[in-house]
Amino acid sequence: MKLYASGEDYLEAVLVLQRKQGVVRSVDLARHMGFSKPSISHAVGGLKNGGFLIVDDDGFLHLTAIGQEVAEKIYERHRFFMEQLVAAGVDLETAEQEACRIEHAISDTSFRKLKEKVQGTD
């Protein structure tokens, strides 16, 4: 299944919430992302069908192995670009918004090379 930026954002949000509070329900995701419950429900259904998420009998969301992999990748990129933008003098709110856009647009190869260059490991 092709995963679009919005799907990656949902997976990243589940990962962040899991790290923050341990367990995640759709209502937690809706609150965190600022979306309606029906929007979250629709997205969760698509992510379940794509094999990225499972919902247990108690309604808790869990990332599958592939969902975890995608979420970790996106979250790593988000943190990296946030840090770089803030270090360059961009205000936090703008850095947050722009990091969210950049994290989806950059290829794996370009991200790896940029990260290596910034970290001095190239």
The per-residue pLDDT for range 12-29, each reduced to its tens digit, is 999 999 999 999 999 999
Torsions phi, psi for 111 (to 5 deg): -65, -45
| Torsional class of 34: left (φ above 0), alpha (ψ -120 to 50), beta (otherwise) | left
Q: For helices 65-87 and 108-119, what crossing angle results, to 10°?
A: 50
Residues 87-108 have pLDDT tens digits of 999 999 999 999 999 999 999 9
Residues 6 or more apart whose CB falls under 8 angstroms from that of 90 comprise: 98
Q: Which residue has the higher pLDDT, 3 or 87?
A: 87
Q: Which alpha helices (H) appear in the chain, and where do they start and end?
A: 5-21, 26-33, 37-49, 65-87, 92-105, 108-119
